[in-house]
């Protein structure tokens, strides 16, 4: 795609540069906070939660009353994610014609492409 070279007015360029500087500052702050949050969640979810839930299940404790509110040990059953192979096998279980199954899989893969633009900081 060719862009026509256009003269940028000085005031707009100055404003643009200020916005970029702010964006960089906010992006840096967000990255630092996200890293801290990831570290805290890792400790909470990988180190503490398995031991707490194991204890609660072992002694049939459904919930705890704490100063900060009630903690409930919930049970959740989820299905595994859909995979191309899983979809293909399930369709084949119903439709025993492999050519038809391949055509269906091709149609499923033929989805429109949506283009969006997002700023990213590359180090």
Domain that residue 73 falls in: 12-77
Structure tokens at 113: 């492409």
- Does residue 2 register a pLDDT over 70? no
Q: Could you tell me what percent of the chain has a pLDDT over 90?
A: 50
24/51 same-domain check = yes
Q: How far is CA 18 from CA 7, 11, 21, 88, in A?
A: 19, 11, 5, 52
Q: What is the mean pLDDT of the chain?
A: 90
pLDDT band per the 50, 70, 90 thresholds, residue 116: confident
Residues 18 and 71 in one domain: yes
Instruction: Name the nearest CA neighbour of 101 among 80, 87, 112.
Output: 87
Domain total in the chain = 2
Same-domain check for residues 52 and 71: yes
Per-residue pLDDT tens digits for 39-50? 999 999 999 999
pLDDT at residue 1 in the model: 57
Q: Is 7 within a domain?
A: no
CA 121/CA 34 separation, integer angstroms: 15
First to last CA, the chain: 26
Residues 16 and 72 in one domain: yes
Inside any domain, residue 88 = yes
* Statement to judge: residues 83 and 62 lie in one domain: no
Residue 119 falls inside a structural domain: no
pLDDT of residue 18: 96
Name the residue with higher pLDDT: 66 or 121.
66
Give the least confident one: 39-43, 83-87, 118-122: 118-122
Instruction: DSSP for 7-30, please give it.
Output: PPPHHHHHHHHHHHHHHHHHHHHH
Residues 67, 90: one domain? no
> Tokens in use for 58?
């072992």
Residues 31 and 86 in one domain: no
């Amino acid at each position: 795609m060719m862009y026509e070279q256009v003269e940028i007015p000085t005031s707009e360029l100055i404003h643009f540069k200020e916005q970029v500087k702010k964006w960089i500052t906010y992006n840096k702050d967000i990255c630092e906070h996200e890293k801290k949050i990831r570290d805290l969640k890792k400790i909470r979810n990988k180190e503490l939660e398995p031991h707490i839930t194991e204890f609660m299940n072992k002694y049939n404790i459904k919930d705890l009353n704490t100063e900060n509110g009630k903690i409930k040990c919930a049970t959740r059953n989820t299905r595994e994610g859909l995979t191309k192979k899983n979809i293909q096998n399930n369709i084949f279980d119903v439709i025993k014609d492999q050519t038809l199954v391949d055509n269906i899989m091709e149609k499923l893969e033929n989805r429109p492409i949506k283009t969006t633009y997002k700023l990213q900081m590359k180090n």
